[in-house]
């Protein structure tokens, strides 16, 4: 299946959404390049259209492109050669016949290359190049001062939801997809500023369903007038099992959302044993919610509700005082927002579960968020490589966990290093930096849980024909069936 982000990549600058000022500045830079000869840096968050803009511009100008990766040690030489060739072919005499634009990705990722003098080499190239050079970077301040000073700079801002929605609408029209406008708005708001993610999400939700509706797009974003804060305070601090269950009736949230709220806020007050116990109940609740999705049998919501309210309250050891700032579920709002992402997340969870002997729910709920925080933007490279090796992750998974947005060259090189270290480990039989995570409190069998999860997801394609009638006790009859009475 074609990737829509490629299929709908802008071919001319006017198709690049949002960032009008940046586009104008870029065009201006190209139009006057003969006079100033400076390189330009396009910087901004992933997925906002920097690379697209560079290529679209080249296309508009009729300039052939040469694409290079700045962190590649050969880049400097290649640029010199290109620049030299172009000089010979007449550029210096004023013609544009030999004009080529060099587009250099990952210009902020030169530190890894420091031993090769990466940053300085590129700066030298930038200063002496006699061809237009476009450098692309996510982190402007990761580039050296001298490199930044040697170039013009253009900032690409996050694309507003207002600009994302029409982009998604155009794609739906061209793909003949029926849609509710609210669905597109929800995607746009979910992906706050990242048009690539929005297009990915659209493709993920649109191709698994007939008509795209608001309900297909799972969001954690809600207004917070639904009594959730009072409920959290009751649940986490005060109420007994019965009280917690009753308090939950006043909350105007779907059980799925409620679970996200609880899981994000629970660790602010629960600790140690009680937290572990509570997570056990949360994992049960999650499993029941999976069964609701798989079977469309909403009667299971009750069991989910019992577990996440009465169960969580019962796990608490004594009342808690003080005031806690509870907040909306931030992690899953970003990472669990669409089916495509959920699939990726679940793949990673399964790997972790298999490797560490814990359940998928635990992997999802407890391990991935940790890994994500520790490997954020691949800053801790060594750890990220170890993680990729330990859990056998591919590029898109590493990109997901680290929040890098897509498979950048940094991610690629991490996966390559992980492959190498796996090969070495195979020889030395060592476990690597990751020894896996401790087993969870309720002693789930990881394989069982993985199967339960498969049921959740594959049910969308109705491969589990009998799912609706089968008792959901193939996994764990006792704890799964827990109802309120069990907690009192
Ligand atoms: N402003 C935009 N207008 C139209 N399409 C966009 C825009 N931004 C992103 N896209 C879509 O997302 C895809 C990826 O965008 P692009 O590679 O240009 O982002 P980027 O800002 O360069 O991100 P990165 O820094 O991660 O490479 C494009 O192919 C296109 O489908």
Q: What ipTM does the predicted assembly reach?
A: 0.96
The answer to whether the annotation marks 65 as part of a ligand binding site is no
Summarize pLDDT for 322-350 with one digit per residue, the tens.
Answer: 877 777 665 444 444 555 666 788 888 88
Summarize pLDDT for 64-91 with one digit per residue, the tens.
Answer: 988 877 666 666 666 666 655 544 444 4
Distance 19 CA to ligand 1 centre (A): 12
Could you tell me the CA-to-CA distances from 418 to 57, 379, 406, 435 in Å, in that order? Answer: 37, 16, 18, 15
Residue 282 near residue 440, CB atoms below 8 Å? no
Residue 211 near residue 188, CB atoms below 8 Å? no
| Pair of tokens at residue 189 | 């708001």
Report pLDDT for 113.
45
Report pLDDT for 473.
40
Summarize pLDDT for 388-410 with one digit per residue, the tens.
Answer: 999 989 888 888 888 776 667 88
Sign of CA pseudo-dihedral 116, 117, 118, 124: negative
C-alpha to C-alpha distance for 360 and 349, rounded to whole angstroms: 5
Distance 84 CA to ligand 1 centre (A): 31
> Which residues have C-beta within 8 Å of that of residue 15, sequence separation ≥ 6?
56
Report pLDDT for 265.
87
- Architecture of the domain delimited by 4-155: 3-Layer(aba) Sandwich (3.40)
The answer to whether the annotation marks 398 as part of a ligand binding site is no
Distance 205 CA to ligand 1 centre (A): 19
Distance 49 CA to ligand 1 centre (A): 3
Looking at 255-380, list the stretches that DSSP marks H as alpha helix, in order from N- to C-terminal side.
255-265, 272-295, 301-306, 312-315, 330-335, 339-356, 360-362, 368-374
Which ligand 1 atom is the nearest neighbour of the CA of 55?
18
**pLDDT-based confidence at 278, cuts 50/70/90?**
very high
C-alpha to C-alpha distance for 165 and 161, rounded to whole angstroms: 6
First to last CA, the chain: 52
**pLDDT-based confidence at 253, cuts 50/70/90?**
confident
**Does 458 score more than 70 pLDDT?**
no
Could you tell me the CA-to-CA distances from 335 to 23, 140, 262, 290, 330 in Å, in that order? Answer: 30, 25, 17, 18, 9
The answer to whether the annotation marks 488 as part of a ligand binding site is no
The answer to whether the annotation marks 45 as part of a ligand binding site is yes
SS (H, E, C) 197-251: HHHHHHHHHHCCCCCECHHHCCCCCCCCCCCHHHHHHHHHHHCCHHHHHHHHCCC
Task: Specify the residue with its C-alpha closest to ligand 1, atom 7.
Answer: 49
Crossing angle for the helix pair 195-206 and 161-174, to the nearest 10 degrees: 40
Higher local confidence (pLDDT), 469 or 123 = 123
Report pLDDT for 483.
55
Summarize pLDDT for 357-391 with one digit per residue, the tens.
Answer: 777 777 877 788 778 777 777 778 888 899 999 99
**Does 456 score more than 60 pLDDT?**
no
Other CB atoms within a 10 A radius of the CB of residue 448 amount to 14
The answer to whether the annotation marks 48 as part of a ligand binding site is yes
pLDDT, mean of residues 30-35? 92
Name all residues whose Cβ lies below 6 A of ligand 1. Answer: 5-6, 8-10, 16-18, 46-52, 138, 159, 167, 195-196, 199, 405-406
> Which residues have C-beta within 8 Å of that of residue 469, sequence separation ≥ 6?
none
Distance 437 CA to ligand 1 centre (A): 36
Task: Specify the residue with its C-alpha closest to ligand 1, atom 24.
Answer: 46
Burial class from Cβ neighbours inside 10 Å (0-12, 13-18, 19+) for residue 132 reads buried
Task: Specify the residue with its C-alpha closest to ligand 1, atom 26.
Answer: 46
Distance 85 CA to ligand 1 centre (A): 31
**Does 219 score more than 60 pLDDT?**
no
**Does 165 score more than 50 pLDDT?**
yes
**Average pLDDT of every residue of the chain:** 76
C-alpha to C-alpha distance for 102 and 64, rounded to whole angstroms: 9
Task: Specify the residue with its C-alpha closest to ligand 1, atom 9.
Answer: 49
Choose which residue among 12, 13, 48 to substitute to test ligand 1 binding: the one with the highest number of ligand atoms within 8 A of its C-beta. Answer: 48
Distance 52 CA to ligand 1 centre (A): 5
The answer to whether the annotation marks 51 as part of a ligand binding site is yes
Which residues are 471's β-sheet partners?
none
**Does 225 score more than 90 pLDDT?**
no
Task: Specify the residue with its C-alpha closest to ligand 1, atom 16.
Answer: 49
Query: How do the domains of the chain map onto residue ranges?
Result: 4-155, 161-216, 243-488
In CATH terms, 161-216 corresponds, of 1.10.8.60, 2.102.10.10, 1.10.10.10, 1.25.40.10, to 1.10.8.60
């Amino acid at each position: 299946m074609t990737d829509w982000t490629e299929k709908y990549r802008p071919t001319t600058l006017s198709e690049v959404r949002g960032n009008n000022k940046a586009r104008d500045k870029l065009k201006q830079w190209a139009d006057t390049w003969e006079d100033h000869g400076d390189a330009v840096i396009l910087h901004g968050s992933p997925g906002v259209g920097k690379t697209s803009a560079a290529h679209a511009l080249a296309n508009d100008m009729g300039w052939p492109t040469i694409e290079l990766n700045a962190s590649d040690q050969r880049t400097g030489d290649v640029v010199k050669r290109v620049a030299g060739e172009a000089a010979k072919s007449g550029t210096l005499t004023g013609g544009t016949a030999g004009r080529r634009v060099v587009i250099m990705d990952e210009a902020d990722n030169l530190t890894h290359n420091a031993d090769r003098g990466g940053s300085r080499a590129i700066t030298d190239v930038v200063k002496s190049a006699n061809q237009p050079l476009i450098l692309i970077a996510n982190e402007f301040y990761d580039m050296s001062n001298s490199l930044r000073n040697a170039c013009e700079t253009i900032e690409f801002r996050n694309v507003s939801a207002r600009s994302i929605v029409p982009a998604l609408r155009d794609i739906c029209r061209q793909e003949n997809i029926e849609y509710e406008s609210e669905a597109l708005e929800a995607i746009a708001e979910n992906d706050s500023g990242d048009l690539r993610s929005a297009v990915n999400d659209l493709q993920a939700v649109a191709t698994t369903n007939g008509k795209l509706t608001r309900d297909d797009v799972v969001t954690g974003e809600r207004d917070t007038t639904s009594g959730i804060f009072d409920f959290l305070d009751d649940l986490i601090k005060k109420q007994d099992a019965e009280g917690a269950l009753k308090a939950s009736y006043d909350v105007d949230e779907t059980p799925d959302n409620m679970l996200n709220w609880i899981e994000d806020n629970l660790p602010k007050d629960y600790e140690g044993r009680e937290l572990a116990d509570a997570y056990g109940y949360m994992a049960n609740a999650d499993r029941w919610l999976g069964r609701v999705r798989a079977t469309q049998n909403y009667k299971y919501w009750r069991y989910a509700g019992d577990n996440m309210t009465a169960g969580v309250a019962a796990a608490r050891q004594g009342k808690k005082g003080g005031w806690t700032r509870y907040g909306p579920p931030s992690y899953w709002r970003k990472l669990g927002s669409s089916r495509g992402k959920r699939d990726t997340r679940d793949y990673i969870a399964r790997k972790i579960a298999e490797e560490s002997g814990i359940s998928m729910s635990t992997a999802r709920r407890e391990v991935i968020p940790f890994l994500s925080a520790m490997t954020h933007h691949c800053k801790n490279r060594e750890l990220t490589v170890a993680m990729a090796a330990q859990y056998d992750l591919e590029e898109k998974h590493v990109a997901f966990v680290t929040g890098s947005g897509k498979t950048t060259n940094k991610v690629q090189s991490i996966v390559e290093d992980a492959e190498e270290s796996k090969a070495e480990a195979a020889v030395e039989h060592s476990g690597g930096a990751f020894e896996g995570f401790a087993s969870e409190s309720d002693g789930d069998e990881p394989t069982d849980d993985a199967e339960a999860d498969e049921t959740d997801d594959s049910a969308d394609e109705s491969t589990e024909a009998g799912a609706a009638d089968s008792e959901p006790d193939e996994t764990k009859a006792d704890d799964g069936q827990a109802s309120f009475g069990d907690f009192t």
